[in-house]
Amino acid sequence: MNEFVNPVEPFLRSDRMPHIWCPGCGIGTTVNCFARALIESKIDLESLALVSGIGCTGRVAGYVKLDSFHTTHGRAIPFATGLKLANPKLNVVVYSGDGDLSAIGGNHLIHAARRNIDLKVICVNNLIYAMTGGQTAPTTPDHAITSTNPYGVFEPAFNLPHLVEAAGAVYVARWTTFHVRQLARSMAEAFQKKGFSFIEVISPCPTLYQRRNKLGDGLDTMKYYKEKSKVRHGAPTSEVGLTMTGEIVVGKFVDRDRPDYQTMMRAQYSEALGPQFVEQPEMVCS
Amino acid sequence: MKADPRGVLTGVHFIDGDHACCEGALAAGARFAAGYPITPSTEIVERFAARVPTVGGTFIQMEDELAASITLQGAVWGGAKAFTVTSGPGFSLMMEHIGYAAMTETPCVFVDVQRGGPSTGLPTLPAQADMMQARWGSHGDYEIIALCPNSPQECFDLTIKAFNLAEEFRVPVMFMMDEVVGHMTEKVIIPAADQIEVVPRKHTHKPLEEYLPYSTNGDLVPEIAHAGEGYKFHITGLTHDERGYPNMTAEVQGKLVRRLQNKIRAGADRLAMYEEEQLDDADVVVVSYGITSRVAQRAIDLARERGLRVGKLRLITAWPFPEKKISELAAHVKAFVVPELNLGQMVHEVERAAAGQARTIPVPHAGGSVHKPEEILKVIVEASQ
């Protein structure tokens, strides 16, 4: 019987299936990649916590068999910051959508990158607010039709890799849901980094984005990702902005080292306080 | 259990209410604070930032109050006792996460050093106009606990109490100071650590496979687990069942929200803390809290000198409102006089609890200073007739 067990099943709350995601949605694909990354990196699952915000991707926290927190809209990163600072032994992953992380949570995103909090942020970018019905997000490409820009979007979109690199992230990569092996490898690689890591996953929303923009179904989007993606590791992030039907630059853009928040904090306290500095003990107040 | 001596600055101090609050938090075992600067509360976290690296813990200044009020909750689920500190404008931003703490039953403390509002209002001057916001500010039905100190000593003592109640009930506790109490410097006695009772977290001892995050075994307050212990639990602000799983039915909503309400209401009598004086023969009872109680004391003394039978009821617990006490008094007295630094907030609760048995007379003040004792005295005299 065992040979029929899906290898990612131990990472999922099977009792919560079926999930809420639409046919053709890419979020489930990213979760599959995440589970494979966990297998590959042999991370101790008991030390792994996953934090999500609100939205379609925000529901990931509810489907993974981990200590998992479905927080408030935009606030996954500050919640994760508290979790990590209180228990530095935890591997903390933030798994959320583009609207959650870069609009309502945009301030937290840049400040966590600036502080270099040791978090792995997986941003599933479906270019739209999907849960609420397809409204314009800060990531929606120019001219796209959305429910709140029915005549086409005219405000410029965020280039998320560029934003988080400028803010200080130590690891920045982008893949699409077509690039399942590369994405899983990138996630595993991020686990090896100490500091603020950011992986953007371009993912279809056939129900709201692709349909309204006459971009076909999930399969058509896979073909688009396959044909129009260009792997350019180390590409300057200023050049990786997205358009509606143009090239998608993917790859690992940033991989650098600088001390993370807690390392800097301990160093500063040690220098300033000398023997008066007391290391934070394990904070289990039970 | 007894306080961890590392956090207890035993001795006799001459410090203000803000600093005393910080020492109370440290004595209670708080080792994590997230804050954002705002007058007149900032001294609390400034002291915490200076003290906590010598005790073993973390302070982080976040980018705004939205972040501070959820970062502290992440820290709680990571195993810390945690709090944040703010004043009116920041308190408004924190409402979302007071709701999240209530819904997820995250034990934590929110300190609000009240200043004049609305909006930016009076940054450096007192008010008590956030009392209803503390109770009702986040959306949906929920209950919280709110305490009101009236001296630096109480800022120390009651901050410990606030943390203890947060742990016992798994609820966010509002610590409702005001600018005057926060900035008033007085003698504060900090006892030895072995004289300070600290309530430990209601941590589960269940085997991993048996633990359900919101199963209560009938006592209304579930047991908690921390991230990293192997329980692999799920926490959500969505309506959830005993497993912590989202469940969008009226049945589960009713069960959950009623329990969140009942766990506080069932403890209301025990939670009701107040100070009473000269109530036995009183015709009139002055009901006050925070700094206003100290002005009211002068008015009561002046009234007694005039031979008026007036007594004092000082609320220490604002929420849940000690309505039983008011109701009992209402049967015997002519009137309640309720001075507060707002245009009428807790007075509505007094009136509701009095239920027409006695008159309830507000003594409103828009904030920016405290009452003059004579203003309160005048109303006491009128009420006595």
For chain B, domains (ranges, CATH) are 5-195 (3.40.50.970), 275-384 (3.40.50.920)
A253/chain B closest Cα distance in angstroms: 27
pLDDT digits (tens, 9 = 90+) for B98-120: 999 999 999 999 999 999 999 99
pTM: 0.97
Give residue-wise pLDDT tens across range B215-250.
988 789 999 999 999 999 999 999 999 999 999 999
Residues of A in Cβ contact (< 8 Å) with B230? 46
| Averaged pLDDT for residues A214-234 | 97
What is the structure's pLDDT at A281?
A: 84
- Tell me if B74 and A83 make a contact (CB, 8 A cut-off): yes
A269 chain-B contacts, CB cut-off 8 A: 53
pLDDT at B330: 98
Are B324 and B272 in contact by the 8 Å Cβ rule? The answer is yes
Q: How far apart are CA B115 and CA A222, in angstroms?
A: 57
Q: How far apart are CA B281 and CA A220, in angstroms?
A: 85
Answer yes or no: is pLDDT of B20 > 60. Answer: yes
Task: Write out chain A residues lying below 8 Å of B72, CB-based.
Answer: 82
pLDDT of residue B170: 98
Alpha carbons A236 and B251: distance in angstroms, whole number: 53
CA-based nearest distance B210→chain A, Å? 15
Contact A285 B67 (CB under 8 A): no
β-bridge partners, B310:
B284
- The structural architecture, per CATH, of the domain A2-259 is 3-Layer(aba) Sandwich (3.40)
pLDDT at A283: 65
Confidence band of A2 (pLDDT split at 50, 70, 90): low
pLDDT of residue A286: 44
Q: Is the pLDDT of residue A257 over 60?
A: yes
Cβ A62–B246 below 8 Å, yes or no?
A: yes
Quote the minimal CA–CA distance from B367 to chain A in Å: 33
Q: Look at A14-18, A229-233, B273-277, B309-313 and tell me which has the smallest mean pLDDT.
A: A14-18
pLDDT, averaged across chain A: 96
Say if residue A243's pLDDT is above 50: yes
Q: Which of A1, A22, A122, A104 is nearest to A64 (CA)?
A: A122
Q: How far is A119 from chain B (nearest CA, A)?
A: 13
**Beta carbons of A82 and B70 less than 8 Å apart:** yes
Say how far residue B55 (Cα) sits from the centre of its chain: 25
The count of CB pairs under 8 A between chains A and B is: 172
| Nearest-CA distance A248 → chain B (Å) | 32
User: A71 vs B58: CB contact, 8 Å cut-off?
Assistant: no
* Bridge partner residues of B146 (DSSP): B174, B319
Per-residue pLDDT reduced to its tens digit, B319-344: 999 999 999 999 999 999 999 999 99
User: Is A46 in Cβ contact with B53 (below 8 Å)?
Assistant: no
SS3 B145: strand
Among B71, B78, B97, the residue with its CB nearest the CB of A87 is B78
Q: From the CA of B152, how many Å to the nearest CA of chain A?
A: 27
Partner-chain contact A62 B201, CB within 8 Å: no
Lookup: tokens for A1: 């019987």
- Share the mean pLDDT of chain B: 97
Is it the case that residue A232 has pLDDT exceeding 80? yes
pLDDT tens digits, B203-216 = 999 999 999 999 98
pLDDT digits (tens, 9 = 90+) for B273-313: 999 999 999 999 999 999 999 999 999 999 999 999 999 99
Residues 6 or more apart whose CB falls under 8 angstroms from that of A88 comprise A118, A262, A280
Mean pLDDT of B121-147: 98
Q: Which residues of chain A make contact with B82, given a CB cutoff of 8 A?
A: 82, 86
Residue A17, pLDDT above cutoff 60: yes
Q: Do B230 and A46 touch (CB under 8 A)?
A: yes
> In 10 A of CB B61, how many CB atoms?
14
Average pLDDT over residues A146-157: 98
Residue pair B109/B68 in contact (Cβ under 8 Å)? The answer is no
Mean pLDDT of B2-24: 97
* CA atoms of B303 and B12, how far apart (whole Å): 34
Rounded Cα–Cα distance for residues B38 and B52 (Å): 20
Q: Is the CB of A90 less than 8 angstroms away from the CB of B66?
A: no
Q: How far is A87 from chain B (nearest CA, A)?
A: 5
Confidence check: pLDDT of A3 > 90? no
CA gap A205, A128 in Å, rounded: 8
Cα–Cα distance measured from residue B230 to residue B118, given in angstroms and rounded to the nearest whole number: 46
Name residues whose C-beta falls within 8 Å of residue B290's C-beta, 6 or more positions apart in sequence. Answer: B114, B128, B148, B149, B150, B176, B177, B178, B181, B341
- What residues in B contact A80, CB-CB < 8 Å? 74
Cβ pair A280:B72 closer than 8 A = no
Q: Which of B236, B242, B248 to mutate to test the interface with A (most CBs of A within 10 A)?
A: B236
Tokens 């609009």 correspond to what residue?
A103
- Our CA angle for B264, B265, B267, nearest 5°, is 70
Cβ <8 Å between B234 and A62: yes
Q: Which of B57, B64, B71 sits opposite A79 (nearest CB)?
A: B71
Worst-scoring range by mean pLDDT, A225-234, B48-57, B210-219, B226-235?
B210-219
Least confident of A8-12, A65-69, A150-154, B302-306: A8-12
Find the closest chain A residue to B72 by CA distance.
A82
Global ipTM: 0.97
Query: Which of A282-286, B159-163, B232-236, B281-285 has the least mean pLDDT?
Result: A282-286
Nearest to B54 among A69, A86, A277 (CB): A277
